Amino acid sequence: MWCWRLTGLFNVPCRLSRSTSHRSAWLPGYRKIFSAAAARWHHTAPESLNCVWQLHGDHLELRYANTLMRFDFVWLRDHCRSASCYNTKTNQRSLDTASVDLGIKPKAVRVDETTLFLTWPDGHVTRYGLEWLVKNSYEGQKQQVMHPRILWNAEIYKQSQIPSIDCQSFLETDEGLKEFLQNFLLYGIAFVENVTPTKEDTEILAERISLIRETIYGRMWYFTSDFSRGDTAYTKLALDRHTDTTYFQEPCGIQVFHCLKHEGTGGRTLLVDGFYAADQVLQQAPDQFELLSKVPLKHEYVENVGGCHNHMIGVGPVLNVYPWNNELYLIRYNNYDRAVINTVPYDVAHRWYTAHRTLTTELRRPENELWVKLKPGKALFIDNWRVLHGREAFTGYRQLCGCYLTRDDVLNTARLLGLQA
C-alpha cells in the first residue's frame, strides 16, 4: 500500500519563505478549545493580563503575545537554562537528557510579567523568559521563515536594481561584504565587480565568505570547451537550466563563476529562480508540489573520459521543504544527470512526470529567465540550492573559472555579520 500523503505530524498549510510578514492564522478549532478552557486559566498580575497558562495532564499551555503555545514537560525540563543544566560559555547543554524521567511533571508553576518559573519534583527550578518561549516554541517557529527571501522573475529582479559590489569594498570592508551577502540571501545571486580576471583573485573572493568545497572537479576549477572531462559543460553546446552536483548526497551550496576570457559569440548565462517557479506550482497545484517534495529520485554522474573515472549517486526529491513550516530550502533539478527512476511504482512515476512537467513549464517561461553575459572582472555567486543556471551555445575560445563553496560556511559568515540566514 503506497501512501504519498503527509503523516499529519506536521500538518501545516503549505507555505514558501517569501517574507517575514507572511503569517499564518490559527486554526479556528484551536481557538475554540482555548476559550472553553479559559475559566480555569491562571493569569499573571492584573497589569500583565497578556500571559495566561494552564497545566494539563501531559503538557503546559501558555498564551503570551498572541501566541498559544503547548509545551511537553520533558521538553521544559530538557531546555532548562540554569547553570547546572546549560553552559552559557560554550552554549552547550550539560544536562543529561536521558536521565530525565519521561513522566516528569512540574510540582509548581508561576508566571510573572516576564518569566515562567517551574519547580520540579526534586526541587530544581527552571526559569524561561516569555519572549524566549515565543521565539523558541513550535507554535512560534512555524509562523516564521528560516530564510527570508525575495522570489523573482526577470522583471522583479531588474526592477530591484541590485548593485554589484565593488571588489575592494567586498574584500576590505564589513559593510561591503554584508551588503553582498544580504543580496545573495534575498535573491540567490550576487555579483562582485572589478575583480582581477585570474583564478587566484577569484579564489581570494571565495575565501572571503566561505570555505571552498573541493570536489571531483578540483578545488578551484578552470574550464574551456576542450572536453577534458566527460560532461557537456566542457563543450560549446547550450545547457538548459539546471542545478549542479544533483548527484551528490548534499549538492554543493554555492557556485562561483568568473569568465576570464571569451573571444567569440553567444555563451550568455541563464539564471532562473527555482523557488519562484516552485511557488507557482504550489499556487496552481499544491498536490503536485507535494509530490515533487516527497518522491525520492536518484541523480548520477558516470564519467570515463581520459584518466577521469567517477561514479556519483545522490538521492533526494526535487523540492526539499522543512516539514514544520513547509518552507522550501533546496531544489534539485538537472534533467541531464537525473538517473533511472526506480524508487516509485509506475502510477506514482506517472504522477511525478505530470508534476515535473508543471514545474518545467514554469522554469521555462521566458519572463522567468534572466540572461547575463559574464565578462572578465565580474564574478557571479549562485545559490545552487535555489537558482538554476544554464548557458547559450557559443563559438570561439571561452575560459571560465570558479569553485563551489560549502553552504554552512557562507551562512555562518552572514550570521556573524548580523544577518538572518
Ligand X SMILES: C[N+](C)(C)CCCC[C@H](N)C(=O)O
Ligand Y SMILES: O=C(O)CCC(=O)C(=O)O
Interface positions with ligand Y (CB under 6 A): 233, 239, 244, 269, 389, 391, 400
Phi, psi of 191 (to 5 degrees): -115, 145
Looking at beta carbons only, is 147 or 262 nearer to ligand Y? 262
Residue with cell 517534495: 293
Separation of CA 395 from chain center? 37
Contact 291, 4 (CB under 8 A): yes
Asked if 238 is part of the footprint of ligand X (rule: CB under 6 A), the reply reads: no
Task: Kindly write out the interface string for residues 182-221 of this chain, putting x where it contacts ligand X by CB under 6 A and - elsewhere.
Answer: -----------------------------------x---x
For 214, the grid coordinates are 573541493
SS3 36: helix
269 binds, among ligand Y, Fe ion, ligand X, none (CB under 5 to 8 A by kind): ligand Y
Cα–Cα distance between 86 and 399 in angstroms, integer?
Answer: 53
Return phi, psi of residue 214, to 5°.
-75, 135
Report the first-to-last Cα separation within the chain, whole angstroms: 40
Q: Which is nearer to ligand Y, 154 or 233 (CB)?
A: 233
DSSP state of 353: H
Distance CA 312, CA 296 (A): 16
Round to whole Å and give the CA distance between 4 and 23. 27
Measured from each CB, the residue nearest to Fe ion is 244
For ligand X, which stretch binds (CB under 6 A), given 180-188, 237-245, 259-267, 282-290?
237-245
Closest CB to ligand X among residues 64, 248:
248
Residue of the chain from 334, 363, 405, 414 that contacts ligand X (CB under 6 A): 334
Query: Taking CB under 5 A as the criterion, which residues in 232-271 touch Fe ion?
Result: 244
Instruction: Give the shortest CB-232-to-ligand Y separation in angstroms.
Output: 8
**Contact of residue 221 among ligand Y, ligand X, Fe ion, none (CB under 5-8 Å per partner type):** ligand X
Q: What, of ligand Y, ligand X, Fe ion, none, does residue 231 touch, CB below 5 to 8 Å by kind?
A: ligand X
Please select the residue that binds ligand X; options are 34, 223, 227, 329, rule is CB under 6 A. 223
Least distance in angstroms from the C-beta of 246 to ligand Y: 11
Residue 134 vs 403, nearer CB to ligand X? 403
| C-alpha–C-alpha distance, residues 142 and 14, integer Å | 11
Tell the smallest beta-carbon distance from residue 218 to ligand X (Å).
Answer: 8
7 CB-near residues (< 8 Å, 6+ apart): none
Residue 337 makes contact with Fe ion by CB under 5 A: no
DSSP string for residues in 301-317: EEEEETTEEEEEEEEE-
Region of 12-20, 116-124, 308-316, 333-341 interacting with ligand X (CB under 6 A): 333-341
Q: In the complex, what is the shortest distance from the CB of residue 390 to ligand Y, in angstroms, rounded to a whole number? A: 7
Contact between 325 and ligand X per CB under 6 A: no
Look up residue 398 and give its three cell numbers. 571561452
Nearer to Fe ion, 51 or 272 (CB): 272
Contacts of 197 (CB under 8 A, 6+ apart): 258, 259, 260, 261, 376, 377
Residue 292: CB minimum distance to ligand X, A: 19
Q: Which is nearer to ligand X, 178 or 338 (CB)?
A: 338
Which CB, 190 or 400, lies closer to ligand Y?
400
| Residue 179 found at the interface with Fe ion (CB under 5 A) | no
d(CA 332, CA 388): 9
- Partners of 69 in the beta sheet? 62
SS3 415: helix
Which CB, 132 or 223, lies closer to ligand X?
223
The 3-class SS string of 220-248 reads: CEEECCCCCCCCHHHCCCCEEEECCCCCC
User: With binding defined as CB under 6 A, does residue 17 bind ligand X?
Assistant: no
Query: Which positions lie near ligand X, rule CB under 6 A?
Result: 217, 221, 223, 231, 233, 242, 244-245, 334, 336-337
Residues of this chain that bind Fe ion (CB under 5 A): 244
